[in-house]
Amino acid sequence: MIVRKLHDAERSNRRVVTKTWESTRLLLKGDGMGYSFHITTIYPGTETPMWYQHHLETVYCISGSGELEDRETGEIHPIEPGTMYALDRHDRHTLRACTDLVLACVFNPPLNGLEVHVETGAYPLEAEAV
Ligand code: 9YT
């Protein structure tokens, strides 16, 4: 069994910080679950274009508000607590946060640990592990 506390993980190298978001990766590939599980905060007033060519991702909004643009269709979806979205088709998308947007995220295949977006908005398949 694996038991971890977010406040402990935030003080370790499981926390990755970028210009528009930070993410604490509570479960990673090395944990052997077959997926990774993260608590991510998107910073207010920011816009993050993403395109996970190598991963499927499910996101659940815990708190905050923002919007998700589906760049495949042009649709805009409000994001608020209780909203889930699943990128089942490696969809190109952009996330905009009005406030701190706190999200629970699951990735399949699991992240190794230190992934940050490359220019296309993807994560490489094999990044450095923590
Ligand atoms: C929602 C999203 O994909 N945000 C970027 C960070 C990502 N969730 C991560 O690496 O934890």
Q: Does domain 6-108 have CATH number 2.60.120.10?
A: yes
Ligand 1 atom having least distance to the Cα of 57: 3
pTM attached to this predicted model: 0.93
CA-CA distance, 51 to 57, in Å (whole number)?
Answer: 10
Strands 101-108 and 36-42: antiparallel
Q: pLDDT tens digit string along 65-102? A: 999 999 999 999 999 999 999 999 999 999 999 999 99
Q: Which of 13, 18, 23, 106, when mutated, tests ligand 1's pocket best, judged by the most ligand atoms within 8 Å of its CB?
A: 23
Contact between residue 71 and residue 93 where contact means Cβ atoms under 8 Å apart? yes
Ligand 1, atom 9: closest residue by C-alpha? 23
Ligand 1 centre from 11 Cα, in Å?
A: 18
**16: its two tokens:** 């990755």
Q: Where are the domains of the chain?
A: 6-108
As a whole number, mean pLDDT of residues 116-120 equals 82
Mean pLDDT estimate for the chain: 95
Ligand 1 centre from 49 Cα, in Å?
A: 11
Angle at 10 between CA 9 and CA 16, to 5 degrees: 105
